[in-house]
Chain A
Amino acid sequence: MEQYLIYNTLSYPILTVLVCVPLFGAIITLAIRGDRNLKIWGMLVTLVTAVLSLPLYTSFDLTTAKYQFAEFSDWIPFVNIDYVLGVDGISVLLVLLTTLVMPLCILCSWTYIKDRFKEFICVLLLMEASMIGVFISLNTVLFFIFWEAMLVPMYLLIAVWGGPRKDYASIKFFLYTLIGSIFLFVAIIALYVTTGTFFIPELMTHHYSFSYQMWIFWAFTLAFAIKVPMWPLHTWLPAAHVEAPTAGSVILASILLKMGGYGFLRFCLPMAPGATVYCMPYLIALSIISIVFGGYLALGQSDVKRLIAYSSVGHMGFVTLGIFLLNDAGIKGAILQMINHGITTGALFICVGIIYERTHSREISDNSALGMMMPIYVSFLVVFSLSSLAFPGTNSFVGEFLVLMASFSKYKIVGGFAVIGAILAAAYMLRLVQKMVWADSDGHVHHGEKSHLIDLNFRETATLAFLTIFVFWIGFHPAPFLKVMDASTTHLLQQLESGMNVLPAGHGDPHAILNGVGESIKHLLALK
């Protein structure tokens, strides 16, 4: 164990605490009465969790790729299942993202949720516990338990507090994700039977035959591609986003989608390196389609929430693209892009929720020309929109830049297509901002009609301001975040390198096509 883990040296078992505080918080919620008390309790629990999670960043050892803050104990010894937790450079930022976003989810539901507050807080806290659990489990069974357990609270979140088509959306979400993960389950058991362990770092060290790798690779990929979601498995996402309450959308966009990307990095790449290299061109192609397709569909939406949902498909396409470029810049860019997407898209969903509370509509046309009435609101909206289209100086720029750089350095043609996605993002986001802020207003909009459009109050301002800090922090000084990933990314690439020897002959053909297309286009251009 010691070769993989650095045991926790903090004064408290930080990772267990991060799961248990929200979990027990959720149980205690059932005994609390009064909406106000419940809100305060929910806020308190999430804030405590957030504060307790900070040592993950401050005490993180940047020099090692081992799993840190680890905890280990026996759990079900007769099939060798242990309770083992730990974080490395890939997961630590995602854990922090989760703990920091959750208080905002409570804040943005302060007045949005009208009924069944007790159950709402309980479900949110259960969500938090299971989401953190997914990122910190180092045992495949434990991972799977959290991965699946998360579905139930998320389902309830959409089904009970959702919009008019909540029934359809929640069932679709649940079935899609569950059916994706049943093969993950088989893969986990198959890996156990082959190696005799459920311990993730040890599973990474085994070498499997190529055909075996292909099987587990696709079993994993199906589950993660649905979660990301990757075209053509993305159709649950817009439905779920549109119907979910604000907090649900924020959780979905900021954290749930990241689990797919995290899964690729944690399972597919290190455990099936040969299959990953072999299948890389196909996954890159799917990512490119996601980017362009998501952007193109976003362009045609009139519902703000739906627009942002489709933009998520495009942005997550950048994440999977970065992952499957299989080089340093690509993977780092992908991880950073996951964090960025969590911040930016989460913030945009909060913005949509705020305006929905005021106008009870999510149509762009009903929410146009807000600039006069709500100056603070539109300032935030513009900042996050710019961040979403990767404007230089904002967080997404860094992530997208790294991914684009990686793709141009590897396959020019891929980079060329990915740029289309970036342009589309600019087109739909700027169109959204133009309509919502200015539209046809000549500065003389009838104020009387829209008197209900009060600007942000302190709570809403604080929620968005907190996220704005990160937009510019990562935008101008991403080094602290990139440094965290350094050791783990390098380690991941070494694992990939060592796994390539199982590739069958002729595996390079699809790669050659990618290169070949790029070359021939270059020739075409040169001829002219």
Chain B
Amino acid sequence: MLYLPELTLLFMALVFFFVSLGNLKESRLRSLGLLLSAIAVIASVYSYGLNGSLFFDAYRVDAFSQIFKVIITFGLFIVIYLGEGLYGIDDTLRPEYYLFLTISAFGLVSMSSAVELITIIICLEISSFALFIIIPFRKKGAYREQMEAGIKYALFGVAASGITLYGMSYIFGMTHTTYLADLMKIIPGVILKKPLMLIGLVMLLSGFFYKLALFPMHFWAPDVYEGAANETSSFVATLPKVAAVALLIRLITLAGAEVGQFTWVMMIFAVLSMTFGNLSALVQTDLKRLLAYSSIAHAGYLMIGLLCASELGYLSGIYYIAGYLFMNLACFFVIYHLAPQGENISFDGLTGLYKRSPLMALTLAVSAFGMAGIPPTIGFTGKLFIFTAAIKKDMYALVILAVINTGIAIFYYLKMVRAAYTSVDEQLSPLNLRVSTSVLGIFFIVIIILLGIFPQGFIDFAKEAVAAVL
């Protein structure tokens, strides 16, 4: 029972493996994917509340891991749901697309439960390798950026894993254990005395900075987002970050809540990430590139919550990443449906959107305002919690830098909304959305606003989860 969500995902991968041998129609494939991922969601909800450990305590199932499993499997469900028709994926590779998507999700789900360094690295690699393969699956059109994107993602990913492993070797060398539970007892006493431990820990975190696209491991994000197919980007942009947050929380706890050099390093990364992301996003014209830079900025905000290393900080981190998942998926949902040929969308592609499809324009506006942190959305409430956590730790300067960044960011989010709501004289063909597509759009709008106004329910779950780690 403890392993039920993972087993379901493995089963799903197996099914798609066999399906890939045959020749199933796309719509069938999608229904199959929806069905199986829905079962995975149910399985993880069902296993919520279970506690236990597997594989010689290397794999722990607790409230903390389960909440991330629910978020990740639900995210997988939405990614499959929004990729209706797989416009951007090569016709012959569709079953494989689902197969590797599932495997990557399996890796991420396992990552949230991994509490031993070797297990962590294995899960990290499972999730990354599947993505390395999936990115060049894009339909061969006039562009070949997908190859570049695939290579970049792979090279950066391998380099990041290398750094992580190197950091692990330091940590293992000094502590003679790979279990997080044991490390937690040793590291807080050592980190202030031995700089090597600090370096080891920061290197260890690099692999997750890479997943989260946090400075200085962010360089891949714009090119990969731009080069990958729209539906692939929607996965790459969201789910790995959720798992990365889970692991970062587990690993930052290792250092203890002491504000020391470790916190300073994180702070610098957070500030540079926000500033670099926002300033670069200002000049982008390709929407996916813009979202990539905005995600770098969001990684910075998120890091503020995490580096507080307090209950509130972790809570806000979990809340923020869940909100980020919905807001970002909503943006990708709009981009995906605006590009029936799987092409990239720039600001010009948004022009007159509110005449072509009011619902799409509203979805885009709500998610953009959400990411900008305008109330009453989930993005605002998330920032409120994060900044509260930081000010409780007396990090005023950090918060002021963050809000200035929010001010900069509003400009490019507003640019998106403005493009969608500018009136044009020429006649544009209306977007014909299916009912099922509209339902997803409405779902995004409702959840972004409702979860923003009533965060308490989610917070209660997250609180339970954080209690399992601290």
Contact = CB atoms under 8 A, between A and B. Distances in A.
A96 interface: no
A193 interface: yes
B387 A185 contact: yes
B92 interface: no
Interface stretch (A74-82, A312-320, A353-361, A483-491): A74-82
Interface in A500-517: none
Interface stretch (B43-51, B278-286, B410-418): B410-418
A137 to B, nearest CB: 12
A171 B403 contact: no
Interface string A54-96: 0000000000000000000001111100000000000000000
B391 A189 contact: yes
Given A160-B423, A189-B391, A190-B396, A148 B380 contact: yes
A175 B412 CA distance: 11
B380 A145 contact: yes
Contact of A182 (B376, B396, B407): B407
A159 B456 CA distance: 35
A354 to B, nearest CB: 25
B459 A76 contact: yes
Nearest to B463: A78
Interface string A150-174: 0110011001100000010011001
A175 B410 contact: yes
B410 A189 contact: no
A189 B369 contact: no
A32 interface: no
Interface residues of A, number: 33
A189 B391 CA distance: 7
Most chain A CB neighbours (cut-off 10 Å) among B354, B384, B421:
B384
Interface string B305-324: 00000001001000000000
Contacts of A159: 418, 421-422
Contact of B400 (A144, A151, A155, A186): A186
Contacts of B387: 185-186, 189
A141 interface: yes
Contact of A178 (B358, B410, B459): B410
A179 interface: yes
A148 B414 contact: no
Given A145-B380, A167-B418, A186-B400, A76 B406 contact: no
A192 interface: yes
Given A183-B403, A192-B388, A174 B376 contact: no
Contacts of B340: none
* SS class, residues of chain B in contact with chain A: helix
A285 interface: no
- Chain B: number of interface residues, binned into ranges: 35 or more
Interface in A185-215: 185-186, 189-190, 192-193
Contacts of A174: 410, 414
Contacts of A175: 410-411, 414
A78 B422 CA distance: 41
A233 interface: no
Contacts of A405: none
B430 interface: no
Contacts of A145: 375-376, 380
B318 to A, nearest CB: 13
Contact of B375 (A76, A149, A189, A193): A149
B374 A189 contact: no
Contacts of B195: none
B173 interface: no
B399 interface: yes
A77 B456 CA distance: 7
A75 B459 CA distance: 12
Interface string B171-188: 000000000000000000
A149 B400 contact: no
Contacts of A160: 354, 421, 423
18 contacts: A76-B456, A77-B456, A78-B315, A79-B388, A141-B384, A149-B376, A151-B374, A152-B365, A175-B414, A178-B407, A179-B410, A182-B403, A183-B400, A186-B387, A186-B391, A189-B388, A190-B391, A190-B396
Interface of B: 312, 315, 354, 358, 365, 369, 374-376, 380, 384-385, 387-388, 391-392, 396, 399-400, 403-404, 406-407, 410-411, 414, 418, 421-423, 455-456, 459-460, 463
Interface of A: 75-79, 119, 141, 144-146, 148-149, 151-152, 155-156, 159-160, 167, 170-171, 174-175, 178-179, 182-183, 185-186, 189-190, 192-193
Shortest 4 CB-CB contacts between residues of A and residues of B: A145-B375, A182-B403, A179-B407, A193-B391
Given A76-B459, A192-B388, 14 more contacts: A75-B456, A76-B455, A77-B456, A145-B376, A155-B414, A159-B422, A167-B418, A171-B414, A178-B407, A182-B406, A183-B403, A185-B403, A186-B399, A189-B388
